[in-house]
Chain A
């Protein structure tokens, strides 16, 4: 038995009880105040952090470190999970937090090497990216357009989503107590397929619009928008602002984290993250899959329950069906909690693709 998972369904805070609703409400309130008001500015100044965004970054990094220790208490008997957690803590505290801070001390705009378009739309917005040195501009484009596909084809989504990403990092650490709350129904799976690719399309449209607008010369001059109110310029800036508000602020922050205690830690990653959508597409064509050891599953449900992405892993395991799912972030918990060692994460080319159109429920019949 996985000691740390005990009573997951008996604690009020972990089973959508009153405490969970309370925590959720607090998180919503925190994010709304942080994102849309300046109530945290005095605190940030008092702490010598400058802006409230630095305060947010500090809290975020702390949450990942503390949550990481909690995660290791639960699953640290596995080397895979040790390394993965160290990696997440490293990328958050060094790459996403310290390096940009140091850059700002040297009067350079902070740059996060571990975050790519379209998760970070700014890195494809010309008015933003061209403020960086040439090397960083090249890095931003090459990493998103070439690095991401290659890495994902070789290792699946996991190199990013459960080893590097900040959103994933928070989910895997501070979000760990809530991982079993993800919705496993086929309905949720259908919703996921519509919602995540919709956001991806939105992200692409927004980026293209901004790029076209900029290349036509109606772009910002020295950081300010042109006063020349062409229709395109107006539409472009409106769309950019709407995307920023709906996707970046509401979906990834307020809802994404606010819903942790009610819908699990991967609401943003599973339903909305445009980068996850891209990674998922390449994962389907790549080497990574979860291998199922034939005829060994006892249908207990630990794998499905503790899948934060809501994949009904058991449906595949009891059907002897090794599988690739676009959503899978390769966290490896399904394999870890399996009491019969049925599942294994593998990077191998020789994968027999499943017949098209089958849902896991129908595989066996």
Chain B
């Protein structure tokens, strides 16, 4: 049996590991054009600023591929012929498979701004982006970041630390509206400004200005022009599936590969996992889940199913985490989904960056948590949501979910807030 995996990211390598666990003799090939080794994409920012070396962000020792007997191909798939079970590669080579996993991830969205083709405009998603931004940052004095999400804030942080003047354009009137409420979003904006970041809210980029093919500035809402040497666009990512066109693989509306509960595509023996897929969310909407955690979980299920198991990919209660400059963020359940009749319980510990937001339904059942500043155990929060705990009970037991370092000042709910409905 020859398994071929397109993509050496978290979904691809997890699937390969699982496959090897189930089948010690199968031939397993991994194709990637990005890097010889699996690396942690979420750690690119640390490799940029020298907190980690480029080797440090490789999660496995370098003999992993040999010891697991994975064959690697540093190549790009240009065409899939599903009838012949064959992939054509950029190098001109062809490779046959018995079972195929597509885990090709996603590509950054670039939108159609005038001037995106100028030298100095880029993203911060791939290994090549890391190299590009490192090189650029050596001579750059100013940078503009477009898009108020996680990658945007990470790039803002590392460029500031590299001594570059950063202007951060956010289309909405606070930071990260898909995850945060306005109160917390503005708190993070305040923190960014405190670190010297020029944050522009409710501001869009109109066009990129260039001279001799190089970026020199951007024009923003209202016509103001900002001089800059770099423009980093971080407005989101989209499934990388263009190489599959004409293959007969079914796409969804958002460009992702449509998979069933077993992560099988519409074509037999072809599976898909990670950022490049679209799965059905809790609310019935089919869309991609572009997270590290879901990439890993999907890779695991796809790997096992390719080996012949029949595991369902069940999207369990949502959770995620992030670090926004110095502030750690933990979320569980449904926050910012505007559930029918939802209420919010919110507190901030004095002037610190420690906040707690609990979303609950009219019958007091807790539906979601957004926690900043402190560390929280998402397993406990998820369990409470699944047990349909009531707000009063959760507030009383909230300390049990605390996961701070030892000797941290204990979490306490101010008297005037406890029991507030």
Contact = CB atoms under 8 A, between A and B. Distances in A.
B407 A79 contact: yes
B379 A8 contact: no
A7 B161 CA distance: 10
Interface in A243-302: 293-296, 298-302
A314 interface: yes
A336 B157 CA distance: 19
A185 B61 contact: yes
A10 B46 CA distance: 12
Contacts of B49: 1, 6-7
Interface in A1-28: 1-3, 5-11, 15
Given A332-B405, A340-B328, A345-B406, A301 B40 contact: yes
B42 A296 contact: no
A160 B139 CA distance: 48
Contacts of B53: 9, 15, 305
Contact of B51 (A2, A80, A332): A2
B59 A301 contact: yes
A185 B55 CA distance: 12
Interface string A301-344: 11011000000001100100000000000001001100111001
A83 interface: yes
A365 B51 contact: no
B56 A296 contact: no
A314 B407 CA distance: 24
A328 B161 CA distance: 32
Interface in B24-78: 40, 42-43, 45-46, 49-53, 56-61, 64, 68
A186 interface: yes
Interface string B381-421: 00000000000000000000001011111000000000000
Which of A2, A305, A345 has the most C-beta atoms of chain B within 10 angstroms of its own C-beta?
A: A305
B375 A1 contact: no
A361 interface: yes
Contacts of A78: 405, 408
B62 to A, nearest CB: 10
A332 B408 CA distance: 13
A158 to B, nearest CB: 10
B10 interface: yes
B23 to A, nearest CB: 11
B46 A364 contact: no
B171 interface: no
Contacts of B42: 298-300
Contact of A300 (B17, B40, B296, B408): B40
Interface of A is mostly: loop
A181 to B, nearest CB: 11
Interface in A67-123: 77-80, 83
Given A298-B292, A318-B59, A340-B328, A83 B161 contact: no
Nearest to A332: B405
A2 B50 CA distance: 11
B293 interface: yes
Contacts of B43: 298-302
B94 interface: no
Contacts of B52: 8-9, 300-302, 305
Interface residues of A, number: 43
B405 A80 contact: yes
B20 interface: yes
Nearest to B21: A365
Contacts of A364: 17, 21
Contacts of B17: 364-365
B61 A186 contact: yes
A169 to B, nearest CB: 19
B20 A365 contact: yes
A80 B406 CA distance: 6
Nearest to B38: A299
B403 A344 contact: yes
B285 to A, nearest CB: 23
A12 to B, nearest CB: 12
Given A298-B43, A341-B330, A1 B157 contact: yes
A304 B157 CA distance: 23
Contacts of A345: 405-406
Contacts of A83: 407
A186 B64 CA distance: 12
B378 interface: yes
B18 interface: yes
Which of B17, B296, B375, B406 has the most C-beta atoms of chain A within 10 angstroms of its own C-beta?
A: B406
Nearest to B161: A6
A127 B58 CA distance: 54
Contacts of A336: 405
Contacts of A185: 61
Contacts of B297: 295
Given A293-B403, A300-B42, A336-B405, A305 B56 contact: yes
Interface string B287-309: 00000110011000000000000
A339 B328 contact: yes
A1 B18 contact: no
A295 B376 CA distance: 14
Which of B18, B292, B405 has the most C-beta atoms of chain A within 10 angstroms of its own C-beta?
A: B405
Interface string A339-363: 1110011000000000000000100
Contact of A295 (B293, B406, B408): B293
B50 A344 contact: no
A301 B60 CA distance: 10
Interface in B314-371: 319, 321-323, 325-326, 328, 330
Nearest to B64: A361
B98 interface: no
Contacts of B60: 361
B377 interface: yes
Nearest to A11: B50
Nearest to A347: B406
Contacts of B326: 1, 77
B379 A301 contact: no
A294 B296 CA distance: 13
Which of B56, B58, B68, B326 has the most C-beta atoms of chain A within 10 angstroms of its own C-beta?
A: B56
A352 to B, nearest CB: 15
Contacts of B319: 295-296
A341 B61 contact: no
Contacts of A295: 293, 296-297, 319
8 contacts: A1-B49, A80-B406, A295-B319, A299-B59, A305-B56, A315-B59, A341-B321, A344-B405
Identify the 8 closest CB pairs spanning chains A and B, nearest first: A300-B43, A341-B375, A10-B50, A79-B407, A7-B50, A365-B21, A299-B59, A298-B42
Given A365-B17, A365-B68, 4 more contacts: A295-B319, A296-B321, A341-B321, A365-B20
Interface of A: 1-3, 5-11, 15, 77-80, 83, 185-186, 293-296, 298-302, 304-305, 314-315, 318, 332, 335-336, 339-341, 344-345, 361, 364-365
